Structure 1
Amino acid sequence: MIRDDVDVPPIMVKCCEAIEKYGLLSQGIYRIGGMMRKVQELKEKLDRGNLVFDPGSDRFAQVTFVDLDSVNLDAEEWSSDVSNVTSVLKLWLRELPDPLISYSLQPSFMEATRNENDRMRHIRLHERVNELPDPNYATLKYFMGHLHKVTQHEEQNSMSIVNIAIVFGPTLFGQGQMGMNGNNMLDASLQNKAVETILKHYTDIFVEEPEQS
């Protein structure tokens, strides 16, 4: 698919690669926060070479002051406590002007999630994911692949699909933000259920190619 050629923000790739290298077996990964001082320090370092999303242009626009490669997440101060890296990544996702699950599509995501039938909920959410703008789709696909790897080590890190969904439901829908129609943030339990369903069916939604007729 051509949309898979869209670049994933380097800050996400950098953080996810470090987390997978040093934190997959960490107890409570993503649930346990880092030290505020270290999180802010790392955020400032990464922000200098960060990407900001411009919803009006329907793409990620590069704003670069230093090369992200100059931030060494293999260094002892970051690799020894990966919770600082996970906290920065969560903070970055929360601060996106338009969340990965775009405000404009959130009502349809919530409607799909209200399906009580598991199979129909999966199908309808798959359809909604396919409606995301290319940058959002590519980034969500990458991040869900990362979270899928996290859940594969549930026995060691105690992070099940349900636990991950509780952490990232409000974040991927824009935690603490107002919807485009001015309503309050959509119901957190539905947000969690949507992320849970998408992650549970990650392979079917993002990886498996449809059969050719």
Structure 2
Amino acid sequence: MERKEVYDTPVTDENGSPISIVWKPDLYKIQQESPKPQPVFTTSAVTGCPFFYGLEYHGVMNHKEANSLLKEEGNYLVRLSIGCDEKTYTLSLKSLGKVHHYKLFYDGQHYVSQKRFNTINDLVADGLVTMYMESKAGKYIHLMHSLISYEKSPYMTLNKLKRKTIKKMKPKQLLSEEIVDYDKPHNFKTHSFKGLTWCELCGNFLWGFTQQGVKCEDCGFSSHFKCSEKLPADCCPDLKLFRGVFGIDLTTHVKAYKTNRPFVVDKCVEEIERRGMLVEGIYRVSGFQEEMDSLRLALDKDGKATIMGDEAYENIHVVASILKMYLRLLPIPLITFDVHPLIIKALETQMAWEKLAEVSAALKKLPPSHYNTLSYLMAHLHRITLHSEENKMTAQNLSTVFAPTLMPMPDLVDFKGAIPDMNRDISALHLIIENQSIIFN
């Protein structure tokens, strides 16, 4: 069943102008035609029936007996297979003129493979649709995935005006820097859609009754499993999908807020440089927990509009502690898991200039958002050290405070129960703070 005309035949309006087809309902029509589940109920009580099956359970039965009972399309029953050392529950159903047998499982939900269902009827309904689709529209589905065009996708068509508007409203330069448009892959998770849903890439129906496709948890993009594999790394996170700012991937954060760095970092650094540079123990002394909780809630709720001046938080250690907390809660550390060992290895280099060159090369392998944030933070910490006589925070002290926050933490204890040695991490961060202008050019 090949429906190539959906892609190749131009559609025009009454004036002859081309009309862009957004949603293609062909697969929805085929799903409507698929057979519906029809259970074959047992005519007598079956002893030992599991609580999670009903009248569709027939007890011990071989496949020949099951075949004789399944006469119509969509007929199904559950039976206990014979000749096995263990109890094996089997789903037998008739589809496309043949009876199919599947090993059946239950762990609070019913399943045959990966998909989970609350009832056997839902499982059968989804299976009948899948088999019918593969039989009646296999060529069409193959063609559908092979002819995907991102530029001509429904997503681009429907968001054309929105994208133009965003482009015109490009954010003003931040601190004399050009705003970077970071690449960010989508954060797809298998999703069960309620109601009728179409793929935003190919425009075709997401068939099935549960877990029909995937949805990006950051921007909401919905698509088929295979279609999602062909999307570029251009996820544009939607702030409406966020629950605050703490614990969110750093690249996701900056893409959503259209900034070079997380606004939390900028706001905290600006406030500390305004009134905390000479405060003794800045970043070492912790703020009061009640005030920290208040500031965190404010940042989650108000975002960039959060007020953190001395009229709201007189104790500057609260602001410094919140910055450390934000960095500590990043799901991927600022110095990522793959770059961390490269920096530690660079410390083994004997020549000082080679050591700096290797550290610089390693840091350039960070994601751009991580690199820019780290560069900004290291310049700030270096400025803190210039007032170390007053604030008592040398590069060594700051690296001791920040190393567990910025670098991937090893296991908290080894097999002997000892605290892990972070001396190399501290030495690496010490080197970066003191030489940040060379390392980050």
| Deviation (angstroms), 1:149 | 1.2
Partner of 1:125: 359
Partner of 1:90: 324
- In the alignment, the residues of structure 2 paired with residue 187 and residue 88 of structure 1 have an alpha-carbon distance, to the nearest angstrom, of 25
- In the alignment, the residues of structure 2 paired with residue 129 and residue 108 of structure 1 have an alpha-carbon distance, to the nearest angstrom, of 9
The answer to whether the 8 A contact 2:411-2:420 is kept is no
Partner of 2:304: 68
CA gap 1:187/1:105 in 2 versus in 1, 3 angstroms: farther
What letter matches 1:73 in structure 2?
A: M
The answer to whether the 8 A contact 2:295-2:308 is kept is no
Calculate the aligned-residue CA RMSD, in Å: 2.2
| Deviation (angstroms), 1:135 | 0.5
1:44-83 equivalences under 5 Å are 44-48=297-301, 66-69=302-305, 71-78=306-313, 80-83=314-317
CA gap 1:38/1:177 in 2 versus in 1, 3 angstroms: farther
Partner of 2:115: none
The answer to whether the 8 A contact 1:99-1:174 is kept is yes
The answer to whether the 8 A contact 2:278-2:391 is kept is yes
- Is it true that 1:42 corresponds to 2:295 in the alignment? yes
Q: Identity, % of aligned pairs?
A: 32
Partner of 1:55: none
- In the alignment, the residues of structure 1 paired with residue 331 and residue 276 of structure 2 have an alpha-carbon distance, to the nearest angstrom, of 28
The answer to whether the 8 A contact 1:23-1:82 is kept is yes
- In the alignment, the residues of structure 2 paired with residue 137 and residue 11 of structure 1 have an alpha-carbon distance, to the nearest angstrom, of 16
| Deviation (angstroms), 1:168 | 0.7
1:150-189 equivalences under 5 Å are 150-175=384-409, 187-189=421-423
What letter matches 1:46 in structure 2?
A: L
1:198-209 equivalences under 5 Å are 198-206=432-440, 208=441
Partner of 2:31: none
Give per-residue Cα distances to partners, 1:7-30, cap 9 Å, x unaligned: 111010001100100100000100
- In the alignment, the residues of structure 1 paired with residue 320 and residue 382 of structure 2 have an alpha-carbon distance, to the nearest angstrom, of 15
Partner of 2:9: none
CA gap 1:125/1:13 in 2 versus in 1, 3 angstroms: same
- In the alignment, the residues of structure 2 paired with residue 101 and residue 114 of structure 1 have an alpha-carbon distance, to the nearest angstrom, of 19
| Deviation (angstroms), 1:4 | 7.3
Structure with higher RCO (Cα < 8 A, 6+ apart): 1
| Deviation (angstroms), 1:115 | 3.0
SS class of match (1:103): coil
What letter matches 2:307 in structure 1?
A: N
Structure 2 gaps of 5+ residues are 1-176, 181-259, 413-418
Greater Rg by CA: 2
Kindly tell me the number of residue pairs found equivalent between the two proteins. Answer: 180
When structure 1 is superposed on structure 2, of 107-116 and 165-174 the one drifting more is 107-116
| Deviation (angstroms), 1:175 | 4.1
Q: Answer 1 or 2: which has greater helix percent.
A: 1
Using structure 2 for the length normalisation, give the TM-score: 0.39
1:137-156 equivalences under 5 Å are 137-156=371-390
Partner of 1:112: 346
| Deviation (angstroms), 1:151 | 0.9
Give per-residue Cα distances to partners, 1:126-182, cap 9 Å, x unaligned: 11111111001010011111111111111110111111111111111034679xxxx
What letter matches 2:360 in structure 1?
A: H
- In the alignment, the residues of structure 1 paired with residue 321 and residue 336 of structure 2 have an alpha-carbon distance, to the nearest angstrom, of 22
